[in-house]
Amino acid sequence: MNLKRKCGESIPGTGPVFEKQAVHWVILGLLLLTLYGVSRTEIIREGSLWGLGSVQWLWTAAGLAAAHQVYVWFCWRIELHLRFITRHLGRRGFSLYAFGFAVLGILRAAAVFFLAAANRDTLPVHPAVLKSLAVISAVPSVYLMYSVARYFTFRRALGGDHFFESYRNAPLVRKGIFRFTQNGMYTYGFLILWSIALWFGSVAALSAAAFNHAYIWVHYFCTELPDMKRIYRSEEKNDLLSGG
């Protein structure tokens, strides 16, 4: 059996499923190594919640972030290239995928919240300043949620264009927060995690927020951008998606 068969390449259409995922795993490994170095510092190890130390909460947060993004990559790619989900589950396939997305996404944010509570008051800045910064950083995230609900739709934000042909010819959204950037969810959405960390004054939660924010851009460049170039084939849309 040759290497291609061992890797599953004998199954038609599986090649694109793994497009740029080697880069994904390498960068994820580097981010985890960096987080490991950070986790060994004394200030990160301060505090606990419900019998779990701050380091355990930190790795829980990192693990849920990785599980969430791997889940999305796998579901998007097997649907986009193989129609695996809708072929076996019909239109309810998207609802089941969206449920898994929501559960992992909520757990991902909750882990950062619990980490912040465990490691609270470790950032040597006046609480009033930190809470002010927390509110300021939350504003773009709230506006993003409004913009998604009002102009973009959550169905499309969850990756509906991987499942439904109706999105393939839909125009790019240029209203709400998307007037300023096409990457609103990556640029502003994860500021809510920074807001949580700042509100509690937690160094460990700031580390988790930084990990999450860096890692979501890995998802963008290694998974979403290649997918969008296949889904939205016009040169103009691809230039916009690439930031051109």
**What pLDDT, on the 0 to 100 scale, is given for residue 241?**
46
**What pLDDT, on the 0 to 100 scale, is given for residue 2?**
41
Q: Is residue 141 part of a domain?
A: yes
Q: Is residue 89 part of a domain?
A: yes
Structure confidence by residue, pLDDT tens digits, 66-115 = 999 999 999 999 999 999 999 999 989 999 999 999 999 999 999 999 99
Q: Is residue 7 part of a domain?
A: no
**What pLDDT, on the 0 to 100 scale, is given for residue 217?**
97
Backbone φ and ψ for 123, nearest 5 degrees, come out as: -90, 120
Q: Is residue 145 part of a domain?
A: yes
Structure confidence by residue, pLDDT tens digits, 200-209 = 999 999 999 9
Q: Is residue 9 part of a domain?
A: no
Q: Is residue 3 part of a domain?
A: no
Instruction: Look up the pTM and report it.
Output: 0.89
Average pLDDT of the residues of the chain:
89
**What pLDDT, on the 0 to 100 scale, is given for residue 91?**
83
Q: Is residue 12 part of a domain?
A: no
Structural domain harbouring 165: 17-236
Long-range contacts of residues 224-231, Cβ cutoff 8 Å, at least 24 apart: 224/76, 226/19, 226/20, 227/76, 227/77, 227/80, 227/162, 230/16, 230/80, 231/80, 231/161, 231/162, 231/167, 231/168
**What pLDDT, on the 0 to 100 scale, is given for residue 119?**
98
**What pLDDT, on the 0 to 100 scale, is given for residue 12?**
53
Indicate the number of domains in the chain. Answer: 1
**What pLDDT, on the 0 to 100 scale, is given for residue 35?**
98
**What pLDDT, on the 0 to 100 scale, is given for residue 171?**
79
Q: Which residue numbers in the chain have pLDDT < 70?
A: 1-14, 234-244
